[in-house]
Amino acid sequence: MGKTFWMLVTTQENLDITRSRGFSMQGVDTKNRKKAVRMGPEDRVLYYVSDRKGFAATATVTSDSFEDEERIWKHHREKEVFPHRVKLNADVVLDEPDYIDGFQVGPTLEYVKKWPPHLWPHAFYGMLHIIPQRDFNFVEAELRRAGGITPPAPPPVIEAPVETQVVAVAVAVANSAEVTNGSATGYSHSLNEARKKFLALARTRRNRSNRRRTQQRR
């Protein structure tokens, strides 16, 4: 299964506790057990601080959900110890003055569209919510901007060897010809097309090599 994007609603006091522990672990209350047990490695977590009405941090889950009764976080109900927990690595963490204002960002999120605009905070009731990846990426980008953090570089594009590209082209063209023509003539035509593609790719590769050698000489 793909990663899940979570919004975790907490208080400033409990976020400070999580921060003091290096964002190494997060507990979820018993009311959200069914959601909490679905959390797993590579899931992402966005922190919303309810009593500050702001977005404060993002983190990545590094473990499956587990249960622990150690009292760490605070709750008005004495029996609540946030027993459903996961281990984390922090990604973006802002100081309180730099939080992203929920009143500016919240109403624009896709997740809150089912609520009337003036009631958007109702979407954040409860501790744990699954939100669209688009919302998560948008808020995390805003957190990075507010914290002066350079966004991560995109992964390098690794070009497949020309032989692999030619084989892929030949197979695709041949399959197309067989489906559309269903004849030896069609298949022969596909091979001619593949040969043309091969020559074009070979020329491109040769030109790139020549340019690299010229640049190295300079």
pTM of the predicted model as reported, rounded to 2 decimal places: 0.69
Q: Note whether 144 and 18 are within 8 A (CB).
A: no
pLDDT band at 146 (very low <50, low <70, confident <90, very high): very high
pLDDT in tens, 51-62: 999 999 999 999
Label residues 108-133 b or e (16+ Cβ within 10 Å = b).
ebebbeeeeeeebeebbeebbbebee
Task: Render pLDDT for 80-122 as a digit per residue (tens, 0 to 9).
Answer: 999 999 999 999 999 999 999 999 999 999 999 989 888 988 9
Superfamily of domain 5-146: ph1033 like domains (3.10.590.10)
The pLDDT tens digits of the residues spanning 16-45 come to: 999 999 999 999 999 999 999 999 999 999
Q: What local confidence, expressed as pLDDT, does residue 178 receive?
A: 45
- For residue 138, give the H/E element and its range: helix 133-146
Residues linked to residue 210 through DSSP beta bridges, in sequence order:
none
For residue 150, what pLDDT is reported? 75
Residue 181 confidence (pLDDT): 47
SS3 state of residue 59: strand
More confident residue, 211 or 18: 18
Say which DSSP state 51 is in: T
Residue 75 has pLDDT above 50, yes or no: yes
Q: Is the pLDDT of residue 6 over 50?
A: yes
Amino acid in position 123: A
Residue 199: pLDDT above 50?
yes
- In whole angstroms, give the CA distance from residue 11 to residue 56: 11
CA 134-138-144 angle, to 5 degrees, is 145
Q: Where are the domains of the chain?
A: 5-146, 162-217
For residue 66, what pLDDT band results from cuts at 50, 70 and 90?
very high
Which residue in this structure is represented by tokens 């010809």?
Answer: 177
Better-scored residue on pLDDT, 11 or 161: 11
Question: How confident is residue 2, by pLDDT bands cut at 50, 70 and 90?
Answer: confident
In this prediction, residue 85 carries a pLDDT of 98
pLDDT in tens, 122-142: 999 999 999 999 999 999 999
